[in-house]
Structure 1
């Protein structure tokens, strides 16, 4: 049986893994384990799975979930850099109490969208990503709302994240007050689906699957038939 050639280069697998081997322990020590419940950090781990297994679903889930938010992160960072405050999601990048190395690791927000697009282009888009990511994201929102520090909470270390995934509003220092908290949470979860996940899903599903994936899909039924006949 002829082995299927790798669709992703080995250097990419090694480089991405090396980055995570540095980032994960540094983030764990500085921000704590709850930091890995952010959508962007979960997406990094999903991409790692896709990079090594070359399966479409994990990368497709990451694409549905964070392509648009990462564009917003980049816009907010550029705004802060040039003195224009947008929504404040990158204000931590200008916090002098955090080392330049620690802040520098967060620049993955800038290149991660390009990596995700490359993975989806090379491996193909899996339409199951929309329900899979939506359920995962909603689960993360519920965990952050019921069990993690809310906006404005006093924590032992100011670097420990509060208001993870913005389930209490966009201001980490103060929870939003224009809606009851449970109603805001439900509205936020539905907004994520309608404004971010669905449009991204509709755009990505128009991409053609790579020829290698199409050939595999064509060969698979005939291979099963040959197996039965044997």
Structure 2
């Protein structure tokens, strides 16, 4: 009888949740913490040339746009986040384990645009010092994660383009690559392979973090980005 009663209560809890009716705290707990699977975006197609690389100190001026494509560690395509006029970031998983501090970073035309300046074990972000010959298109500033409001519109800038609007969610910071409290979530998911490392920006083009992929559970897929309070605490 007790087993039957517990089963009946569990079934009722699910029914109430489905129709939006309140549940007791101990019953709600089971459905408020779903299991997420995380998915770093893979590289886009490997379409880079293998010749004509400019690496000399006197190379011509190269203009880099926010969310521009860069070459990944495997020769595929990822994207870059720009801050100020001398600093870039991208996703660490774009390195495929082949980057270390000092590794050269190349744009879509195989011009060297900088070198890896900082990495942190387990953090899916890489800091890049841009070469003196690089000119950043526009002025790009950071926006603190704690200043965001639920429902604010945001966009991914990656693969050289602006993707459709997503919205800030009320999810807490989630785990990523085995690191707790690492990524923030937006919905709906509006990015694709090759956008890893690109910028997540607000409606005023202030950069709120680095796009890395998506998290998925039974409610759907959520865009995932690493906010600056996480990045800046480890990549200096």
| TM-score when normalising by structure 2 | 0.27
Higher helix share: 1
Higher strand share: 2
| TM-score when normalising by structure 1 | 0.27
